[in-house]
Amino acid sequence: MAPIRLRHPKGVMTIQVDLDSFTVQDLQQEIYAATDILPSLQELKAGYPPHSLTLIPELPLESLGLQKGEQLIVTQKLEASRPASQRSQAPASTSASHTPPTTGLARSQVAEPVAPARPSAPQASGPDYVETEGGYLVHRIVPDDNSCLFSSIALVFEQDIKKAQQIRKIVADEIRKDMDTWTEAILGRPRDEYISTILKPASWGGAIELAVLAKHYATEIASVDVESGRIDRFAPPPGVADSGNRCVLVYSGIHYDAATVAPILDAPDDFHQTILPKQSSGDDDAVLVAAKKLADKLRAKKAFTNTATFDLRCEICKKGIKGEKEAREHAKETGHASFGEY
């Protein structure tokens, strides 16, 4: 273990990190434990004069070029900060059909999540909302702790985000049980490895998990993408009883939140309707129309991250790289693990 000195808003302290085996995410989690600044809101600078570090959480810590005794300046992104009351309460794919989706949103297919810092955009006076039939569709922010999808589902179906790990177990049990649907080809890795990974609190969920949970709860899960306004709908598969209801999640590119309907503004959380009857099978359903408007509102605040298109450069061979997927592939092929945004 090597000492790394942190200079942050609360003062100065030293943490211990393993320069050989830690990932960037491991460092971010240590900083979070020391400073209470969520990984997605951390901005790190090192060197003299201090320069910003490009954080790709799944890459090895060596990608940051840190040395024993290094000093890091840790700040919180002001445009991404959330009121403390909201933080304590809570931290995608193409349109889903009845066949299991296999898009890049299945984040649990990677060993560790890639989580570039995301901006968050609740209103200063509270979460964002839009008016809809019967009340207001409210953006319900959950913790940015790599279990956001599971926390959102727990909030919607169990009314308790603390049951996120229980939701992970539901997914693991379904994949273990349904070997015909959840093949190694669909999962992108051996079944036992996938199950082991998805049970870990640090592993992200995505399209596969949403498909599994739609079946388990016999309820459509509609995920609205903030950047595009697209709604991806995960429905119970043929042969499974459909409750005729749906719920709404908000996807920012690297984070899921829930959206629920409050009868009046400032209604207590337990007054919110988290599961809603489907009024239409199309996107003209009142709650889906409201979901798109909510996405518009968040997009205007740039509350999303496009991880597929941000530009990187390998600092070793100077090759231009687009998005986290190419960064992972390049690191795997070459062993190069130092990237910078440009």
Active site residue 255: yes
* Among candidate residues 82, 134, 131, 9, the one with its CA nearest the CA of residue 252: 82
Label residue 84 exposed, middle or buried (CB < 10 Å: 0-12, 13-18, 19+): exposed
From the list 8, 139, 272, 336, the catalytic residue is 336
From the list 128, 139, 247, 255, the catalytic residue is 255
From the list 144, 145, 225, 257, the catalytic residue is 145
* Among candidate residues 220, 26, 23, 182, the one with its CA nearest the CA of residue 106: 182
Structure token pair of residue 262? 């409050």
From the list 8, 128, 139, 148, the catalytic residue is 148
Q: Which residues contact 196 (CB under 8 A, 6 or more apart)?
A: none
Q: Which residues contact 282 (CB under 8 A, 6 or more apart)?
A: none
| Residue pair 154/164 in contact by the 8 Å Cβ criterion | yes
Strands of 11-17's sheet, edge to edge?
11-17, 2-8, 71-76, 42-46, 51-52
| Residue pair 247/291 in contact by the 8 Å Cβ criterion | no
Label residue 222 exposed, middle or buried (CB < 10 Å: 0-12, 13-18, 19+): buried
Q: Which residues contact 269 (CB under 8 A, 6 or more apart)?
A: 89, 140
- Residues, the chain: 342
| Residue pair 31/22 in contact by the 8 Å Cβ criterion | no
Active site residue 145: yes
At position 149, the amino acid (one-letter code) is L
Catalytic residues: 145, 148, 255, 336
